[in-house]
Structure 1
Amino acid sequence: MTETVYPEVPVLVVGGGSVGLLTAALLTHHGVPVVLVERRDGPSVHPRATGIGSRSVEILRELGLDHAVDAAAVDLRGATAKAVARTVVEMSAGDVVAVPMPAPSPTEHDTTPFSLRGVCAQDRLDAVVAAHLERHGADLRWATRLTGITQDDEGVDVELEGPDGRYSMRCARLVAADGARSAVRTALGVGTSGAGDLGTPKVNILFRADLRPHLRGMAFATCTITTPEAPGLLATVDGETSWVFHANQDVDGGERPEDFTHERCVAVVRAAVGDPGLDVEVRSVLPWRPRISLADRFTVGRVFLVGDAAHTVSPMGAFGLNTGIADAHNLAWKLAAVHHGEAGPGLLDTYAQEREPVAAATVDQARRRLADPQLHWGRGPAADAARAAAGVWAAPVVHLGQRYDSTAVVDPRPELPSTTDLAVALDGSPGSRVPHAWVDGVSTLDLVASRWTLLAGTAADGWLTAAADVGLPAHQVRAPWLSDDGALLVRPDAIVAMRAMEPAPDPAAFLTDVLDQVLARSITVTGT
């Protein structure tokens, strides 16, 4: 049976992984009705990525979810980031090479208002975001897959198949967050470039086993297991009884993913732990392989690719999930501005203008690390010199320091002043994330609060008056990146849209002209 559920949905999100869920959450946050469809029957129970970067934490904070995700994270303060041991049992005996969790430098500590206490597995993140969406009445349609898609100048028509059969839906715009093998991207004929599949195929084994007696108080994010009986990577989910083990698939020996039966997985885990009698419950098994790819286009008409549908990033550096979350954050406020009539449709062109170069740079940074993991994990002057020679940026700069160059930024400064020092990279330049500074105990990021916001210098009374005239919230800030009589105009995604280091002859008219340019419109700001 075919039926039209709605005459038109403002935004349809295809894909219910972390990026799809956060896209829906951000759109809901901005007041846009959204429908999400996902072929699985609920959020994934299988952890994938565990590293949530600083920029992603800031986005979660914008949604009011930072503390909930922190509560779901494993406390790894003072723990080991990466360990290498023959088995877990031998690790507890002291036979281990360990890299401590990176301690932020004093300047890095001042670049963001909040950080997680450790790693948060993707399934835990998804559970937090899905519950948030349900509390806000979002339309989440699990066990529903897309079977067809067409679009015209006015909207997108999709065919869906759910628990109650087939039906059609029309939406104003569609966001494809349906993964590396994106059905939407394939249906639209968008190709990809890049190295593709890399390295040895792996099998991700999610299991329960109480490893605390063997760990004896040790804590780590990941441990490379080197025993010949079961080489692979052990990653923490809760640090106690829930773990994932990435086993290498012996392709040369003719091994296939289906060869990893329940019994085989139990044996592999016991060998990796070094305890032949360990009580193991295998919960899920997923084959996977590191992959590098970049979609040829991030936008096709009214369809937007985000996350793995747009780019796949090798796991070294934990950039993949975080890059997808940044896609969603960039796109959501723009879709909302157009939906609410606050911007012209040309604003949506800046999604690809901004995210394609950043995704390409991130993919490249992950690729460079893959060749030599020490370029990511190494510490000290020798490691710094090796990174500089290899063109490897500091991880915080990859996560937080990259810049946008588009028509949604006035006089952008896309060049990075530093690829090693995040505090230098976040200097208030147009196109960069607004620097974090405390204003009466509140971060500048929190002052933005998903709205267009003016940050004015301590002697910039004219800018403050102009902001009130055009309906913008404004705050005075004393900071080295802002002159006393200057101002920063900050976008809802906390990106600096304009910086003026001196007063304008007519500040209100100037702000109106800037907003008209950035928002691709010719109407007056009426407030936020």
Structure 2
Amino acid sequence: MTTPHDHATAVLIVGGGITGLSMALFLARLGLRPTLVERHPSTAIMPQARAFNPRTMEIYRAFGLEGEIRARSSLLADKPEMIGADTLTGPERFRIDTLAQLRPPTSLSPTDWGLIDQDELEFVVRAAAEHGGADVRFGTELIDFDAAPDGVRAVVRDLGSGAEHRIHADYLIAADGNRADIRARLGIGADGPGVLGHAAHFLFDADLDDALRGRDFMLAYFDQPVAGTVLSPLRQAGRWMLGVPFQPQQGHSVEDFTEQRCAELVRRAVGIADLDLTLVPPAAGWSPKPMDVRLGAAVARRYRAGRVFFVGDAAHVFPPTGSYGASTGIADAHNLAWKLAAVLNGQAGPSLLDTYEDERRPVAQVTLDQAMRLLNARHDGTADDLTAIDDLAMIFGYRYDSAAVRVEPHTPDEPIEDPRKPSGRPGLRAPHVWLDRDGTRVSTLDLFTGAFVVLVAPDGGDWAAAARTAAASLGVKLDIHLIGVGLQDPDERFLDRYGITSTGMSLVRPDGFVGWRSGVPGRQPEHELKQVLTQLLARKHIGHDR
């Protein structure tokens, strides 16, 4: 028997950080109405992540959000440098222009890094998710859940009124952060170095012009007062955030960071013993305390437990170097969202959901290795150590190998491909190519808006006809684009980058990854497309082709 407080939803998302909000947005745009609960009363109030990689911006671009995100760019957009030094006034170990090293050429991506503070991005994504129909409930905590074979039954509490609500969901998405309470309750551990340490983060106001000596950086790593100390400018001129590591295993805690000690730590990091500064918030009992930021490095052993899936920090935790954490979580959500929608809409078999872990967990493992290399280079290395690491390959070049990809024979086992020399192989991000539509420049990536896409080469008209018939037969939404008809390839790069001939085609999944390609005309193109789509969508397990 139901009560007025009962509620049913296809997907319950627990956690309203950027990963959970992005999941809500992606599902809403795919026609679902997910419910999201978050115990905090609002989106983030601190910057947290401050840079989102170009692949993340490609994803948001496909949802029409790039313009609004860029309109809210932080001051870091004009501060490309990163430095490593003993103190702000002391000798430097390295100084690099991070954007010069990490900015993709226009031949690689139609977009660039999103230098926006996470609190600002969460505001944008939450509004878009709610506009799309997502039911977003801040100030609401999950207090209990039971995952059964037929769905998830959860109890949530409105922290304002104290009222409890029962929610029945087909699936639960745990986006509950690096403490991963839901995953821990299900008894699923993680592999990796684990907790690397803790850092106390706090804000202060000070005129640092003399110490800066004309430098305008986005982030600095100092050896004083403790190796690994970080300093970053905030939106308000003259306001800074300092992060100082501490070791709980040695009996230290964030409670030790009194007002007097924080002021001393700032002066030591800057290298000016009598620096005039004001802690934020001002004294008056020095409340609240500095934020306790736990630095971790681990990947969950499983990404799924029945109808419960783990995304973002609940699935993997990286050190902050490389700005991988939030962007990897957003990519998790993007990968899982289309699969959930396909299963819930009856277009795919349930086993399609197994490919989420098959695809995303290996990416997290490679990303963790990369983040640890960067961490060591920034703390102890030189500019040469940093520039030797190829971030662009990690951002754009990782490869999926699962049942949701028709892997080609003799495919190399390397998990990363150099995206500057794209092959168009299945399992990789579909290459960016500039096309022309009635005088307007369009990226191939702009064509991937949530459905399967067939990109047909100029002489592959049979593939286009077969795709229409196959889509109608299977009841699958399939967008078909014939290069040379409506979309021109003025630079003549499409065939080379997608690795097909003028009579071939490429089948791109809803998340913008190549699922299959045929470099030549098909002998039975309609049959081949139906066969591939049946595999990619695990249709053999639902047996209701129309």
TM-score grouping bracket, smaller chain normalisation: 0.7 to 0.9
Map residues 309-324 of structure 1 onto 2, 5 A cutoff: 309-324=314-329
Query: Is the 8 Å Cα contact of residues 427 and 513 (structure 2) preserved in structure 1?
Result: yes
2:288 matched to 1:281?
Answer: no
Give the counterpart letter for 2:321 in structure 1.
M
Shift of 1:447: 1.1
AA partner of residue 68 (structure 1): E
State which of 298, 301, 308 in structure 1 corresponds to 2:303: 298
Q: Does 1:341 align with 2:359?
A: no
- Answer whether contact 2:229 2:243 (CA < 8 A) is retained: yes
Segment of structure 1 superposing worse, 118-127 or 403-412: 118-127
Aligned residue number for residue 433 of structure 1: 429
Pair 1:46-2:64 in alignment: no
Q: Which residue of 1 aligns with 2:27?
A: 27
AA paired with 1:501? G
Q: Distance in 1 between matches of 2:302 and 2:247?
A: 35
Indicate the SS of the match to 2:32: coil
- The residue that corresponds to 2:495 in the other structure is 479
Q: Against the structure 1 CA distance between its residues 215 and 56, is the aligned structure 2 distance closer, same or farther, given a 3 Å change threshold?
A: same
Task: Give the alignment of 1:155-234 within 5 angstroms.
Answer: 155-163=151-159, 164=161, 165-198=163-196, 200-207=197-204, 215=212, 218-228=215-225, 232-234=229-231
Secondary structure of residue in 2 paired with 1:189: coil
Distance across 2 between alignment mates of 1:476 and 1:428 = 17
CA contact (8 A) 1:317 1:376 kept: no
**Which whole-Å CA distance do the structure 2 matches of 1:252 and 1:37 have between them?**
33
Paired with 1:106 and 1:84, the residues of 2 have a C-alpha distance of 21
CA distance 1:253–1:132, change in 2 (3 Å): same
Partner residue, 2:376: 371
| Distance apart, 1:75 and its partner CA | 5.0
- Out of 399, 412, 417, the position equivalent to 2:395 is 399
The residue that corresponds to 1:256 in the other structure is 253
Residue identity in the other structure for 2:335: N
Amino acid at match of 1:57: M
1-side partners of 2:415 and 2:251: how far apart?
Answer: 47
Name the residue aligned to 1:330.
335
**Taking structure 1 as reference, are residues 309 and 76 closer, same or farther at Cα in structure 2, changes over 3 Å only?**
closer
Q: Single out whichever of 265-274 and 287-296 deviates more from structure 2.
A: 265-274
Structure 1: how far apart are the matches of 2:264 and 2:379?
31
**Percent identity of equivalent pairs:** 36
The verdict on how the C-alpha distance between 1:106 and 1:130 changes in structure 2, with shifts beyond 3 A counting, is closer
TM-score for both structures, normalised by structure 1: 0.88
**1:139-179 Cα distance to aligned partner (Å, 9 max, x none):** 11112221212122210011212223222211010100001
How many residue pairs align between the two structures?
510
Cα distance in 1, alignment partners of residues 416 and 351 from structure 2: 32
Q: Separation in 2 of the partners of 1:124 and 1:7?
A: 30
Alpha carbons 1:207, 1:284 under 8 Å: kept: no
Cα 1:217/1:439, change in 2 over 3 Å: same
Distance change >3 Å, CA 416–CA 237, structure 1 → 2: farther
Q: Give me the whole-angstrom Cα distance separating, in 1, the residues matched to 2:522 and 2:134.
A: 44
Return the TM-score normalized by structure 2: 0.85
Aligned residues of 1:74 and 1:239 also touching (Cα < 8 A): no
SS at match of 1:109: coil
Deviations along 1:352-392, whole A, 9 cap, x unmatched?
1111111112112223333333899744xx877xx5xxxxx
**Shift in Å, 1:342:** 1.6
Which amino acid in 1 is paired with 2:398? Q
1:422-477 deviation per Cα after TM superposition (whole angstroms, max 9, x unaligned): 222x3210000000001111111101222111111121111122223334322234
Amino acid at match of 2:519: M
Q: Provide the residue aligned with 1:462 in structure 2.
A: 462
Distance 1:230 1:345 in 2: 49
Deviation at 1:278, TM superposition (A): 2.6
1:487-526 alignment, distance < 5 Å: 487-521=505-539
Cα distance, 1:78–1:243 mapped onto 2, change above 3 Å? closer
Asked whether the equivalents of residues 230 and 272 of structure 1 are also in contact (C-alpha less than 8 Å), the reply is no
What are the ranges of 5 or more consecutive residues in structure 1 without an aligned counterpart?
A: 388-392
- Give the aligned partner of residue 98 of structure 2: 101
Structure 2 letter corresponding to 1:489 = L
Could you tell me how far apart the structure 2 residues matched to 1:325 and 1:302 are?
A: 20
Following the alignment from structure 1 to structure 2, what is the Cα–Cα distance between the partners of residues 249 and 375? 18
In the alignment, residue 39 of structure 2 is paired with which amino acid? R
Tell me: CA distance 1:242–1:474, structure 2 relative to 1, closer, same or farther (3 Å): farther
Look up the match of 1:243.
Answer: 240
Deviation at 1:187, TM superposition (A): 1.6
Residues 10-29 of structure 1 deviation map (CA, whole Å, 9 limit, x = unaligned):
00000111111111111111
Q: Give the Cα separation in 2 of the matches to 1:258 and 1:284.
A: 7
Give the aligned partner of residue 489 of structure 2. Answer: none
Partner in structure 1 of residue 147 of structure 2: 151
Return the match for 1:422 from 399, 419, 422: 419
| Alignment partner of 1:362 is 2:361 | no
Residues in 2 aligned to 1:14 and 1:63: alpha-carbon distance in whole angstroms: 22
Q: Distance in 2 between matches of 1:225 and 1:104?
A: 21
Cα distance change of structure 1 residues 368 and 462 upon mapping to structure 2, 3 Å threshold: same
SS of 1:26 mapped into structure 2: helix
CA contact (8 A) 2:221 2:230 kept: yes
Preserved CA contact (<8 Å) 2:319 2:375: yes
* Contact 1:374/1:383 (<8 A) preserved: no
More displaced 10-residue stretch of structure 1: 58-67 or 473-482: 473-482
Instruction: Check 1:374–1:464 CA distance in 2 against 1; reply closer, same or farther (3 A cut).
Output: farther
Contact 1:403/1:431 (CA < 8 Å) preserved in 2? yes
